[in-house]
Chain A
């Protein structure tokens, strides 16, 4: 039995220790907002927060989060300032990678409320988008920082 805190609720799972957190979330806990894209920590579609830090659910064995706190896109509630910015800017195209993009952006802003373009580049470089929403993501991260009280040092592009 593996126990951890998921989006503020206690969960207990009877699965193999080496099952990736991604598939435990999707197939055993019914949370499909976290996506499969590569399985090898290359694309960021599976980005979640583990104890507040960004992590890759596709390469994290579920046993590694025992006793820890996991937050997924479902845990943001839909009206998080980053999600509001994403909606205002209408960032998504197909939308598939956006859960991961948003989780990465939330982690960035929690660690750095006033990111520069270079900070955003660093934080988002592991998040692939095949539709090419990168410019709108940049705009939305700046907008979310502004809405949360962080002043931008750069102009938005």
Chain B
């Protein structure tokens, strides 16, 4: 069993008991425990089940690389799945649930998958996709759906109760990793005077060196750590953060760090996570190394653990994962685990050293402690279901026969160490294969490059392959100094402290144990513990022709689990290389992508949620609308009233009332959101002739013209009324959503193509409040307010005048988007509310009512006016919409003119705008497609058009619609079929798109 020892535990405080729950059972641990160490102390070795076969899984590591011990943490609005027990600090009241099982961890129905393991080999999903659809749908999909997904997603209805923030930081040198290497690198850098930021992902400085032993400057490692930390803390140019993981390194010295502020102390106020957005001149990754598992049959049975992790649990938390332990290794380092266990009073039954020559000085020390060492031996198989029961022993060189057996309850394994090269690799740092240590490490000659073409990332300590304590410290000292110099630090030569540790003999790579394991053993030798990828799966992929490591990864899912292959990727690569008869460096690695370990979505979002996710733009009349029943609709970043509901009135009824009232009496529309761009200068006319398809340079001051804008591709991008203000000034109205976009479009052409033209563009959209006064009584209300002459003669259609109305300085445009007598009147934004109030008051006797965007849409559709974004979608040209009249034939050039001459644009088969009238008067579904004769190559009905705008018109008491239809204008009167997604098929007659007042008599008054 796993249990708490009576001594050891450098990180726990035995005077402070902490209670927590696991799967509803209350357990106890100590302050300083991780969830994993506390579970082990409670003899809870099994912590989850694997993804594919639902096999029992115990904790295998002690840090961020843990693939198995994933739990759902917290409850309700604070529930979070897939949290690693090894990096979760214990706190009072912590509640954890294990994952991937039903009905419970101990007894799981899904575990029958194991029995079907031979039917679920590498590429299972891909292979199944080739089967006929019904088979897939009825046999496999239900099964896969049920077992898909790792952990439970939080309830969709809950909202994360915590807050998060972003933090911007600038530094000369960023050091990622606060082990002895990171600390020494920080000191070496800081002594030169540069600004240093040091981040460490765990809650403690010093990394794993204090566990591994040895001495620094002839004293214990813990003492060194304490001293250097207090030294760094006194330096003004050093910032240090614990629980802060270097998550990713990006272009030009950009780095992200993920600080967990309250995960360990939920009662503390403030943000839960902080995302550091860092710009550093130089970055040093001191990210250490991760031990590799060994691939032997049954290496996934709970109780089999990394040798270093076992050592961590004993030394750091005073917990032993077992009482009778077998150690399997290919290197000297694992002997440290045997010594640690023995000194803690745990039985170490056997050390199986795959090397024929056995170990060095540490092996001698082990033998002196009375532990049996078997050189050249290997684990043939570990037996046990939910817990290790027995180890079968064989020769490493062989297929796994000639067995000797030892019964035990835990196995410590060590396959050597892999430097954590992730952060080095994120931004393009390249790796080299180190034959002696059988691992990839950063190639110092090929670092990630900055803007100046020089490297901006370097590596320190074990992350650089400098594994022995002495090398680690001298390497880190040099790396810190070099980074500081590159960041502009003054040359200093701090002396590296002297690290001493036991001399070690070289490791020997062991990719499979035993070396020639037979098939029954290989199908039980796990590479990826979480995703259930075995040695046999990778070999099968190779036999099926997979050569690229990236393809093999996706085919087998090796390294695609939440640990992203931190433990076993190298083992998998080696198996693949062997199967392909290639060298490991030739096969290469998969791509390392940020973040190093998962970071919360909350941290990525930071403060940008709820109301501050995106600022809302409000017109000067916004509050009035809000008080008067506005049903809001988002339009661009604006909010516009869709309709104004009277008490007890439905939105639909409100729209119909507004539609009728505006045509019969008087409607007011807040048109302030319309874009208003001033285009001014000696070349402004020439410029607008290029921007618009129409001729704008010939417009006379005082007059307005409706204009179309196309992209250079020929497609319609915006429309609006242009007014010429004076000789060299035009005011261009854009769509509500288009002001910023069209302003940028104009600037782009002015700055990058016609930079010698003398034109200024200014966006004055928000300087004005603009009110559309619409309906048969429009002139009456303006005349009642008094001021400028708004008669037919003094202010004809498509003209504008400056003047006063009701005492307000204003500019009145006689323009109409409704077909009614209509004035759009602009006043200073600050006068908008007062002017609106005056209109509302004066309009009472004329039946004034405000109307919203839906009424606006219906009125324009009744008149067959197009709307950018409805009739256009980025693939529509003016010719499609019958707008030839707005395309100047006199101009040699305008944006889009040449494109509109291309063969496809001139194709007579293009869908063209028509009106659509349902035979029964019903309303067509929006966006529905019209079907024609015959079928296409896929056996689907040919499509001949689509609905672009569709409404119920209260004025006509029927559905009206516009659509784009193949040969539409030539098919007037024809009835076409339009199936809806509601199962009904609609019949609509092709008609003229102008449904109401075809002769324009209502606005010509």
Asked if chains A and B come from one complex, the reply is no
